[in-house]
Structure formats: C-alpha cells, structure tokens
Structure 1
Amino acid sequence: MLDRLEHALRARPERPAVLSATRTGATRVRATRGELAELAQAYAAALHARGLRPGDTVGVAVRPGPRALAVLLALWRLGLRGAVLDPGAGAEVLRARLALARPALVLADAAAQAVAGWARTPARRARRARLELPELAGLGPVATVGPRLPGCAPALGTGAPCTGVPVYGGTDDADAVIVFTSGTTSRPRAVVHSRAGLAAGMDTVASLFTADPASGGQGAEPVLGGTFFVLVPSLTRGAPVALPARSPAVLARQLRRLRPRDTYLTPPQLRDALGAGARFGGRVWTGSAPASAALLDRVRAAGADQAWGVYALTELFPAAAVESREKAAFTGPGDLVGAPLPGVRAAVDGDGQLLLAGPAARDRYLGEDPDPWVRTGDRARLDGAGRIVLEGRCKDMVLRRAENIYPGLYEPGLHVPGVELGVLVGVPAGDGDERLVAVVQPQRGVPEPALRAALSDPLRRMGTARPDALLFARIPLSGRSRKPDRAAASALAAGLLAAGRGGPA
C-alpha cells in the first residue's frame, strides 16, 4: 500500500490530502496530494544526499501531519528504518532509547526539540562540542524538519536533486519501523515491524474502512483521524484526511462541518467531544484505550451509524474489532473486544494470557530473537464463537487478603449511564495487603448521589471482588493515547482516602 500511495498521490495532485480545522471548525487544506508527494520526494533526496542507505536507522520526532507522513514515506522509499521517538518521555528515557536504536540521524521538528529541551542548548556550546546537539553525543546528529526556531538544529534541507534517488528494491522482511513500548530506563524495550508486517496492518485497516458496500471502496468522502494507520489507507483510496482539532469545542464544530464518513478518535477524545455536544455520522472507530459499551452507545446516540471498538497493540495493529450493538448484547463477565480479524490467530496460554499471531504482528523486539506469538499481557478467554473476551491485565492485579483480583475483569461493570470513566486500583494497606478502590469519573452535570445509587447493584454483583471504597474524581491519564494512569490513580485514591474523602462501595 505504501508503494501504491505515491502513485495515488500523483494521479490527482490538485486534490486536498491533509486537512485541519480553524477555530470556527471550518476546514483548511494543510497539503494537497501533489504537495505531499513532492515533500516526500524532497525528504528522500535530502536523506540520500546525507549518505543514508538501506538498513540505516533514522529517529523521528515530528508531530502528526503532512511533514511526519512525508518523512515516513521517504524512509519507506529508501529502505531506511524509522525509530519513533517521544520527546516528552524524559531525558533519561529518551537517551536510553536512542542508545538502543543507535540512529544515524534524528529528524525532529521545532516543537519536539523544545519539549525535549534540545533547542535550549546555546549554539556556541554546540560548536565547541562539534555536534549539532551535544545532549545526543555519540547517538547521531539531529536535523530540523519544518520551520526552525532559535537554538534548533540545522535544517534537513530539501534542495538536493531528486533525480537519481533510488527506490528500495530489497526484501519485505527488512525492518521498517521501531516503536518503543514497555521496559525500564536501564533496559528499554522496542517493537520492530518489518516492511511486510507494516503493509499487512495497513491492508487490514483498509479492509475495515471499505467494508461498507455503499462506499465501493472508493470515493473522496473525508476521514477524520491523525494516525499513520488512518492516513495511509485513506489517502491511497482517494479520501482526504482531516486531523482532529485539539479543543473539544472546535472538534465538535469540525465534525458538524466536515461530516466525515469514517472517524477515528481515542476514547478520551470521544468523551471530550461528546461533552462538548459533538454529533457524529457514518462510522466511528476508537481504540488505543479501553472503550466501554456505554461509550460506544453514546456515540451512536449522538448520530453515528456504527460505533466500533478496535483492540490493538503496539505489537499488532489491529487485532480485533467489535461494533457497539454486539458489545452491548454481551452479558458474560469480562470485556468483549470482538473476533480476531482476518489473518489473526488467537490462543490462551496456561496462565490465561492472550497470545496473538498474524501477518501484521511485530517481527521481534529490538535486540531479541523473532517470536511468532505476541504475548499481550492481557488475561483473556475465547468464547464459544471464538471471540476475544478480556479479563484484565496479567500485571494489573490487586492482592487483597490473599486473593488475586484482576481489575479489568470487573471494571466494565462500573460503566453505568453517567460514568465517564471508571477504574479499580489497589491502595497499600500494610504488610503487602491492599485495599481495592473504585475511582469513578462522572460525566459533566451528573450528581454523585445518583451515580452512587446506579452503581450499587453493579458493585454488589462483584461478590468477593467488591471494592472497599468508592471515590468520585477525575482519573489521571498518561501517554500519547491518554490511557488511565493506574499508578497515578492509586496515589490519588490514597491521598483522598487519607483526607477522609470517599465512602464504602
């Protein structure tokens, strides 16, 4: 698909490719299809002129948008391996990740350099160390993509001749991208996807987007979403992609004006948009964090024809999907995330951990041997229809009075009408024991007494896993996908309980 995308962009160069919203929600064109193709070609020429060759690693810290996509297309064309960097991860974490990936060059926009603290380095100090950025000594030079701000690294430059730039002709099992995941500062962990695996994942996403016969798999209906896995399939089939506005109020106006056929937002983005009065249409997809049946139902109630929850991992995107009606009809314990998508194989090991395999699975972890099975870290079972039902995280466990309690098995019961988000966390109670606390974030305007009454029956049905306390508070989120930060939620719960807040569940 990535090979086809360049041809698709040049076939209709005058058409919009990437869109964004003004404060009023009106659409503006960030890049046409021709501009995107030219930018990718210019980046490829600049990287080739710097001496980078197939198999070299390039670190990428560029905000989602036309430049980030053009960089990744250039890396693909040259057979380079892209290491996705999070500049906000902290200096020690970032240095450890760079030391593991060993990039020959880091491409970063001005915002990423400012967040990472790189751009604040005095220029004379950099000259004295004979490095663009001395913080990355021995870890590769840095080049700025896009406009430079004072103190930024030198520009990548796009003036190199585009003629004579080779197109990668190697094997599909070569590395394409590195994405950092779990691990520690001393031992970071990174997922490595091959070119074949990355292409397979995009084909799967494309099949989801074009599953509706009414679309015919073609057309220029806009798609709203900012991830690489949304941009590439959509642009390949001719649809422009609108980057979601950051402000919930602007996002609500953007949705009203744009009326996208397909929308991909994370659960926190959906909750914020719904709180701002957003209306939807067509199909809405959400993932990167748990999406309850109640949230999907709210999306449909706000006008969507379909609301889908996508189960995906850094190691395999996507793995399963479930539509709101199917999820709402599920009455068993656990969280139904759907049947494995075509090509995905699922199994459960002796400890109850979900294992996944398929063409889109990661090749290996950096520095480790390949393994066909992805160990998800999720406890799960396969029901009679072969669907995946999550039962909690293997590591997200609360030990209370010698009983192992897996929060994910019971958290779906907290999502009654009026609940924005709910988690179960352990709070230390001495001697290695823990208290189990339900932390619930109400929807705006919903009174706590009404929620406490609505939660009484679900809490009673938890049996021996019933929480010791119920707290109402805003749940901390973390990471790019804005998932619940369980450690921070546990610390918050401990502080509120110590202050006399909350009550028995």
Structure 2
Amino acid sequence: MFTGIITRQLLQPARGGGGERPAISLEKDQTWTYAQLAERTNRYANGLLAQGVRPGDRVGMLLSNSLEYWALYLAITRLGAIAVRLNWRLTGEELRYALTDSGSTVLCLHGRFAATIAPVLADTPVRTSIVFVLDPELDADAAALSDALPQSVLEDADPGEPAVPDPAPTDPCMIMYTSGTTGFPKGALWTHGHTLWFGAMQALYWKYDERSVHLGTTPMFHVSGFEDCVLPVLMSGGHAVMMRSTGLTVDRIVDVLRHHRCTDAFLLPATIYQWMSWSELDRVDVPDLGRVVTGGSPILGWAVDRIRTRFPKVRMEQAYGLTEGGAMTSVMDPERLDDHRTSVGRPLPLTEVKIVDPATLEELPADTDGELWTRSPSVCGVYWGKPEATAETFVDGWCRTGDLARITTDGYIYIIGRVKDMILSGGENIYPAEIENVLADHPAIQESAVIGVPDPKWDETPCAAIVLNDGHSLTEDEVIAYCRERLAGYKRPRYVVFVDVLPRNASGKILKRLLRDEYAHLGSAPAAR
C-alpha cells in the first residue's frame, strides 16, 4: 500500500509522464527519477525475496543518507517485512542490542560500518548480511564482514513487480529505536497506515504538490530525515533532496538549496544558528526558498529575527513531536509567532492534544501545567516487544509524551520541559524551560540547558550549562546577577558552567541526563552568590 502510492501511482499515464520527473537527489551529483526509483525498489524487493525475506521478517538498515536508502526501505515494506532503521552513530554493543531486540535476521549496511558491527554480529539473530560499497574509500571496511553478500544480489535482481500481495494498512512496516533523552531505547513500531496517515496530514497542512522541492539535512534513520516533510513531498509528486550524512556545512547546504531551487528545507536549530552567523549570509541569496521547518528544540528568538530580516519571504515554522507520538504533533504558525514567541504552535490536522495531571491522569483546564498527551492516526501505539512500556505510554489511543506543557485558551502549546527534568527545590517546582527562556534573551548567550543538581538543603537546585556566542564572554557571577533581576530567587541558577556544545541525540534534542551526570558533583561544591 505504502510503496504503491509512491512508486506506482505516479507512473500512471494519467499523471502526465510522472515517471520521468526527478524523485530523489543526493546533494548535487546524484538523482533518480520516479521510474528509476520504482525499478530499483522492485529489484531490491525481488533480491530480498531470493534471500528468504518474508512478511513480518525484520531487516536491519545501517546506511548513511543515500538514494539506495529509499529504494531499500520501499523494497522491505513492499514485501510486508519490517525495516529496522538503525542509527549508525551507535556503538557495536548498542547496535547488537537493537538487532537482537528486534529479531532482525537480515542486515543491509554500508561498508563503512562493517568494522563497528563485525565484533558483535555473531551475537545477534542476523543470518544474512548485504554490504553496499558506494564509495571505495569510505566503504573500505567492508572486508571486515568476509561472509557478507555484495549489493549486486539486490542490484541485479528482476526489475519486475514482486509476486507478493501488497501489505494491509494494519501491517507493521518499520521499527525505529527512540533516541530518547532518558532510559534504554525502545522500538517504536509503525504500520503502513500510520505512515500513510502521517504523510497525508503533512501534505494537507503544507499543501505540497509537484512543484515542491524539499531539502532534508538530517540522518534518514530518523523521522526528521525521512517521514518529516520528505515523505509527503514524494507522496505529492515533488522532488526530495538529501544532504550527505557527514561533514555538513552551511556552504554546502546553501549551494544545494540554490542548485535544486529548493522551495522547502528542514534544518535543526543548530544548523540555523550556523547559517544565521555565516560570514556569507548577506551576500548569498536562496531565491526559491519559501519555508524552513525546524524541530528538536525551541528556536532562539535572535535567529528567528535574523531570518525575517534577511529572508523576509521565508516562513520559519517550528514543529514539535516525538517518534512514537506520530512524529509531528504541532507546528507554529509564523503569522502568530510574535504573540506566542516560545510556543510550538497548534496541532496538525487530525491531531488532538490535551493536558493531563501526571499523578491523577485527570484532564486539566486551559492554561494549566501538566503532561501533554496527543492522539492522531499516526500515533504508533506500540513498542516492539515491550508490553509494560506500551501500556505505560499509550492509553486509549493517546500517547503520553512525557513533556510538561500548557495549552492556552486559543489552542497554542507551550512546552515547559520534561516531566523527569522538572527540578524540585525546597518543595517548589522549577521548570528548566522558564530559566532557559530568560537566558536566551541575553545577547552573549547562544543557547543553554538547565538541569537540577543535588543540594544538601533544598534537595535540588538549578545549574545552567551555557554556550556563548562567538566573540562574547560572561562570568558565572554575571549570569546569576542577570537572572536575579528576572527570576524568583529559588529559580535562579546557583551554578553556571560554560561549554563549547551541548550534548544532543540524533534528533537534536539536548541530552540533559548526560549533563546531570557530568555536573552532579557541583551539589557538594560551594555555591556562587
């Protein structure tokens, strides 16, 4: 069902020769048309069939951003098998966990990752490995898997339509291990129906069509590099362009935007900050760009203002969501941004949200702080092989996001922080986002993350990890004095640390648990006054 909409419907004569239109590109040098994507998908599907892949089987995907990634994913899901999209940044032990937990019996990988997975592969259920060598230099480690099959077993297979029925909407198609900010990863299980609904909801909201050219800049193993924006653009007959996975620079991004005349782009906040601080910003235009979507963490006000000034026709849209919650729950309407500067917007079409007391599970009224719950046709509803975690997170079709939030009377969502990130100090609840918003207004501060560290008197007290803008300096005392004028005494950070970068997961979310571990010792040190 999913594969058919992308690779077959667009080849029908009624679509006006759609097969010859560009479908996917990797930066400036590689492009497949819809016809080429369909042929390659069929070859891979028939090649996997020949290797014994059947409906329900799990097939691991350990690949960098590439055109082959799309064809492989579509081939796996066309057969009714389940694509297990693996984060290539993981260690061998972490990959072993994901492959074992999912029960993957086939692994398709780029040769560049063979040395990482080789020492642990025998301890997984994988019985067949297929290695792609797309760049002889980058993929030189392919020899580390001496028993692996070459990509030719897929490339040289029959290009005809696979002789298997299309999967049903309720059939599973993908497992993605959540790159959460706390705990051990869980496999969010998406069905064909979830995937199609999510693509349709975005297409309805953003009104993509055959003229849409979208640039994806994040890894394809994550929803932000695949299902977010890229999927609905392809479903609408548009052109999806992807950046390579490593060595990402503003120069390259802008060059690709100009080369393909991209109309849309997904950029993480950190990339936007680099672009808006780029030395060539005032000299290089992107005349066709009309929309930038971002997510992972709130975009800072100075960057929004600079985009508005430099590129006044570009719509800057902040999205919010999580993999198991349907990938995208809400988007901030640029026309209302000045009225709701730190909001993540209102729900996407067909999406419901509510605020719930995390202790009583009772729904709370507007403008009340509590846990954000979301429900839509794209909420996955299941963690692979984890019934207890499933029951805890998914309730009557609703997904408990774990985010503390409030919803205003006019429907705008404000994320206050994570339920587990809330700081309890002397009986008072302190929301890190409130402190971070104050720090974001300081001209010397690029971004910050506030965590709770142990305190012998108050149980916990705030600590701010700060990244400074280039050419600026601050002291711990200056930061605390700045906060003293803007925050209640119990809310202001008692400790300040300056860092070059904040730790993030693959989706760009700050890993506060790593900061808590690193700076927990500050609780026993003398506090700055």
Q: Does 1:354 align with 2:372?
A: yes
The amino acid that maps onto 1:201 is F
The amino acid that maps onto 2:262 is P
Kindly state the Cα deviation for residue 138 of structure 1 after the two structures are TM-superposed.
Answer: 3.3
Q: Does 1:288 align with 2:286?
A: no
Q: Give the Cα separation in 2 of the matches to 1:233 and 1:69.
A: 14
Shift in CA distance, 347/33, structure 1 to aligned 2, threshold 3 Å: same
**1:424 aligned residue (450, 466, 473):** 450
Residue equivalent to 2:416: 391
Residue equivalent to 2:265: 263
Shift in CA distance, 190/396, structure 1 to aligned 2, threshold 3 Å: same
Residue equivalent to 1:249: 251
Aligned pairs for 1:139-288 (under 5 A) are 139-147=126-134, 149-152=142-145, 153-156=148-151, 157-158=153-154, 159-163=156-160, 165-181=162-178, 188-210=185-207, 217-226=208-217, 227-229=225-227, 230-244=229-243, 246-276=248-278, 277-278=280-281, 281-288=289-296
Structure 2 counterpart SS, 1:108: strand
Residue equivalent to 1:67: 68
Kindly state the Cα deviation for residue 396 of structure 1 after the two structures are TM-superposed.
Answer: 0.7
Q: Give the Cα separation in 2 of the matches to 1:406 and 1:167.
A: 53
CA offsets 1:365-409 (integer angstroms, 9 cap, x no match) = 112267411110001122101222212110012233343322124
Residue equivalent to 1:80: 81
Q: Give the Cα separation in 2 of the matches to 1:28 and 1:458.
A: 53
CA offsets 1:445-485 (integer angstroms, 9 cap, x no match) = 34448x95898268623553111133433232232123222
Shift in CA distance, 379/145, structure 1 to aligned 2, threshold 3 Å: same
Question: Which ranges in structure 2 are unaligned for 5 or more consecutive residues?
Answer: 12-16, 218-224, 359-369
Shift in CA distance, 458/412, structure 1 to aligned 2, threshold 3 Å: farther
Q: Give the Cα separation in 1 of the matches to 2:347 and 2:507.
A: 22
Kindly state the Cα deviation for residue 292 of structure 1 after the two structures are TM-superposed.
Answer: 3.5
Q: Give the Cα separation in 1 of the matches to 2:384 and 2:67.
A: 28
Structure 1 counterpart SS, 2:29: strand
Q: Does 1:306 align with 2:315?
A: yes
Residue equivalent to 2:507: 481
State whether residues 453 and 523 of structure 2, in contact with CA within 8 Å, keep that contact through their aligned partners in structure 1: no
Q: Does 1:321 align with 2:314?
A: no
Kindly state the Cα deviation for residue 160 of structure 1 after the two structures are TM-superposed.
Answer: 2.6
Q: Give the Cα separation in 1 of the matches to 2:212 and 2:82.
A: 32
The amino acid that maps onto 2:448 is G
Question: Which ranges in structure 1 are unaligned for 5 or more consecutive residues?
Answer: 22-26, 122-132, 211-216
Kindly state the Cα deviation for residue 286 of structure 1 after the two structures are TM-superposed.
Answer: 0.4
Structure 2 counterpart SS, 1:87: coil
CA offsets 1:291-341 (integer angstroms, 9 cap, x no match) = 23443333323315210000111111211000345233227xxx4111111
State whether residues 17 and 29 of structure 1, in contact with CA within 8 Å, keep that contact through their aligned partners in structure 2: no
Q: Give the Cα separation in 2 of the matches to 1:91 and 1:185.
A: 20
Shift in CA distance, 207/410, structure 1 to aligned 2, threshold 3 Å: farther
The amino acid that maps onto 1:460 is R
Report the count of equivalent residues: 475
Q: Which shifted more, 44-53 or 243-252?
A: 243-252
State whether residues 178 and 323 of structure 2, in contact with CA within 8 Å, keep that contact through their aligned partners in structure 1: yes
Q: Does 1:445 align with 2:471?
A: yes
Shift in CA distance, 403/475, structure 1 to aligned 2, threshold 3 Å: farther
Q: Give the Cα separation in 2 of the matches to 1:466 and 1:145.
A: 52
State whether residues 12 and 33 of structure 1, in contact with CA within 8 Å, keep that contact through their aligned partners in structure 2: yes
Shift in CA distance, 463/453, structure 1 to aligned 2, threshold 3 Å: closer
Structure 2 counterpart SS, 1:94: helix
CA offsets 1:166-193 (integer angstroms, 9 cap, x no match) = 2433421111111112689996521111
Shift in CA distance, 138/3, structure 1 to aligned 2, threshold 3 Å: closer
Q: Which shifted more, 244-253 or 100-109?
A: 244-253
Shift in CA distance, 442/80, structure 1 to aligned 2, threshold 3 Å: same
Query: If the length of structure 1 is used for normalisation, what is the TM-score?
Result: 0.84
CA offsets 1:120-139 (integer angstroms, 9 cap, x no match) = x6xxxxxxxxxxx8534434
Q: Give the Cα separation in 1 of the matches to 2:380 and 2:524.
A: 44
Shift in CA distance, 361/307, structure 1 to aligned 2, threshold 3 Å: same
Aligned pairs for 1:433-472 (under 5 A) are 433-448=459-474, 456=482, 460-472=486-498
CA RMSD of aligned residues (A): 3.3
State whether residues 420 and 442 of structure 1, in contact with CA within 8 Å, keep that contact through their aligned partners in structure 2: yes
Q: Give the Cα separation in 2 of the matches to 1:412 and 1:69.
A: 39
Residue equivalent to 1:214: none
CA offsets 1:59-97 (integer angstroms, 9 cap, x no match) = 111122211111111122111111111233223332222
Shift in CA distance, 162/260, structure 1 to aligned 2, threshold 3 Å: closer
Q: Give the Cα separation in 2 of the matches to 1:167 and 1:345.
A: 36
State whether residues 181 and 510 of structure 2, in contact with CA within 8 Å, keep that contact through their aligned partners in structure 1: no
Aligned pairs for 1:81-96 (under 5 A) are 81-96=82-97
Residue equivalent to 1:336: 343
Structure 2 counterpart SS, 1:204: helix
Q: Give the Cα separation in 1 of the matches to 2:351 and 2:239.
A: 29
